[in-house]
Amino acid sequence: MDEISNKTLMAFLIAAIVISIGGTIISLERISRLGAPEVAGYATTGTANLTVLGTAAVVVNKNVDFGSGSPSSDVTNQTTLTTETANTGGFNDCTTGDNCLGLELENTGNVDVNITITAASDSNGFWSGTDTQGSFQFFVADGNRSKDETGSCHNASGAIVTEVSDWTAISTSPILMCYNFTYPSATDTLTVEFNLTIPTDEPVGYKENTFTFGFTQIS
Amino acid sequence: MESERARISILIMVVLVVVVSVLSVWTVLERTSPTNQYVPNQVEVHHGASVGSVSLRILPPSEAPNSNVKR
């Protein structure tokens, strides 16, 4: 093995010293950029930046189940089922309990939205009986099923009112329920009330209509 | 001979110092690189849909519980 000269050793040594000092400077500079306190015990200041992103979300808290019953066969006195009403024919009493006080929606996001309702079947598609006319109507009440959290729906002018405040026939096309369905937890619920008139010759069986509630963030 | 061994030892130590220094700098640069800092998924949701239902069961007149239907 050839001898290693003092010059070679010196060159390596100088390189090591330069790299060490350079590395130390770079490390200190990067660490100071992170805002790390240099001496424990001293007060220091820093900033934390964050951006809260908008999320539009609406959930159905409760569906409507009118239960089981037998409709009237009297064409002059058809059975009508209404949420929040003591219904006849053996169907659920909707003044008590939790089965049919209304279909409750809650804005669980952090942005205001407008919301529409679309039925899977309209009245003609839902009822099979033909002897008498059936109907399937709804309206939108501000607040939850317990009548709390009112002020959840505003129109385009800012007034507290839903877009469907009278009985209206359901449709397979979207119907605007509320222009501005707000998100603050004290005012973030709507209740859809239903009114059904059953044809006198409606066949025996289970019947269910599904509703899609489409929502879009208000820009 | 002893002098040569001493020089080789020093050379090895110097090389180790260089390697450790380079690795240290590389570690600091890698850990503080913006590309390695935590960036949450930035996804905004502007629209959606939920589904609810209305249901009932039609029974024959004879099976209606507590029925008060006119027949």
d(CA B41, CA A26) in angstroms, rounded, equals 31
pLDDT tens digits, one per residue of A63-116: 999 999 999 999 999 999 999 899 999 999 999 988 999 999 999 999 999 999
Taking only residues 32 to 61 of chain B, the set having a beta carbon closer than 8 angstroms to any beta carbon of chain A reads: 32, 42-61
Question: Is residue B64 within 8 angstroms of chain A, CB to CB?
Answer: yes
> What is the CA angle A194-A57-A95, rounded to 5?
25
Whole-model pTM: value is: 0.70
Per-residue pLDDT band at A42 (split at 50, 70, 90): low
Q: Across residues A25-41, what is the average pLDDT?
A: 68
The C-alpha of A211 sits at a distance from chain B's nearest C-alpha, in angstroms, of 5
Which residues in chain B are contacts of A134 at CB distance < 8 A?
none
Q: How many distinct structural domains can be found in chain B? A: 1
Would you say residue B13 lies in a domain? yes
Q: What is the DSSP letter of A93?
A: B
| Lookup: tokens for A82 | 């209404």
Look up the ipTM and state it.
Answer: 0.77
Rg (CA), chain A: 34
Compare all CA atoms of chain B with the CA of A15 and give the residue at the minimum distance. B18
What is the domain extent for residue B22? 1-30
Of B49, B68, B69, the CB nearest to A213: B49
Total residue length of chain A: 219
